[in-house]
Amino acid sequence: MDNDIFKSIADPSRRTLLDVLYESDGRTLNELCKHLDMSRIGVMKHLKILEGSGLISTRKIGREKLHYLNSVPLRQIYERWVSKYTEPWTIGLTQLKSDLESETAMIQKPQMVNRILIKATPEEIWYALTEPSMTSKYWYNGSIQSDWKKGSPYIIYNQEGGVQAKGELLQVEPPHKLVMTWQLLSLVETAEEKASCLTWEIEPNSEIAGVTLVTVIHDNTEASPNTAQVLENGLPVVLSGMKTLLETGRMLKEE
């Protein structure tokens, strides 16, 4: 997978596409074609390579196919090849940050989409997502508590018993889908913002047995811009931590 990513970003046209999505996520093919001097088919081929290596993800909204920068593989590359060779302060130089466009009146598109492949079953991933002893190992030491019924509240506690985040369970379909409102209370700049929404989609990979695709969508962030910014950097870390824990039994910070 590392080789696929390095090969993908070796091409200047594909780097341009990533830069464009970095500037503004959720773009159509027509929008992306404006930034490259090549045919529509040529752009589609580059997008297919980027999607194949996991560097972008797509969502079908109505008749439009929207393209999103997926920062999870880049985060994993950073953890594997950069972080152990550099001082901690350099993380600020390499983390991707997208300035999301305002949603248009005609189309309501997800504002952040992250995807990752994990060598585990959907049931194992659901357990890792809902079991307090598991979330405390990859979700910034947060222990999640709920009865996991639709309409019920949930709370994520830190190690000292303080509340990190809370919300309501809007949709509970184990082991494939979880929709939850999200209020991040652990930071001053996010504590007073209105709730946003997290959607977890957990589906077996159609081509590789024993591998599951996890998609996390962060949405409804119009009234919580600071929360959106924090999760833009934080969700790739959470997903990388979940993957490391399930595949190796170790915590990400122990790597």
Tokens describing residue 30: 């027509």
* pTM for the model: 0.67
Domain spanning 112-254, CATH class: alpha beta
Least confident of 25-34, 103-112, 168-177: 103-112
Confidence of residue 210 (pLDDT cuts 50, 70, 90): very high
The listed range with the strongest mean pLDDT (22-26, 180-184, 230-234, 251-255) is: 180-184
CATH topology identical between 2-69 and 112-254: no
Residue 60's alpha-carbon distances to 26, 28, 163, 234, in angstroms, are 10, 10, 36, 25
The pLDDT of residue 29: 94
Q: Are 140 and 165 in contact (CB under 8 A)?
A: no
Residue 131's alpha-carbon distances to 11, 100, 164, 179, 255, in angstroms, are 42, 32, 16, 16, 22
The pLDDT of residue 188: 95
Distance CA 87, CA 89 (A): 6
* Residue 22: Cβ-neighbour burial (10 angstroms; 0-12, 13-18, 19+): middle
Residues 77-96: pLDDT tens digits?
666 665 555 544 444 444 44
The pLDDT of residue 98 is above 50? no
Comparing C-alpha atoms, which of 108, 132, 128, 112 is closest to residue 120?
Answer: 128
The pLDDT of residue 61: 83
Mean pLDDT computed over 66-77: 80
Amino acid symbol at 179: V
Distance CA 251, CA 78 (A): 16
The pLDDT of residue 81: 62
Chain mean pLDDT for the chain = 86
The pLDDT of residue 74 is above 80? no
User: Residue 87 CB: number of other CB atoms within 10 A?
Assistant: 7
CATH, domain range 2-69? 1.10.10.10
The pLDDT of residue 108 is above 90? no
Domain spans of the chain?
A: 2-69, 112-254
Residues 41-70: pLDDT tens digits?
999 999 999 998 888 989 888 888 999 988
Tokens describing residue 78: 């950073």
The pLDDT of residue 107 is above 70? no
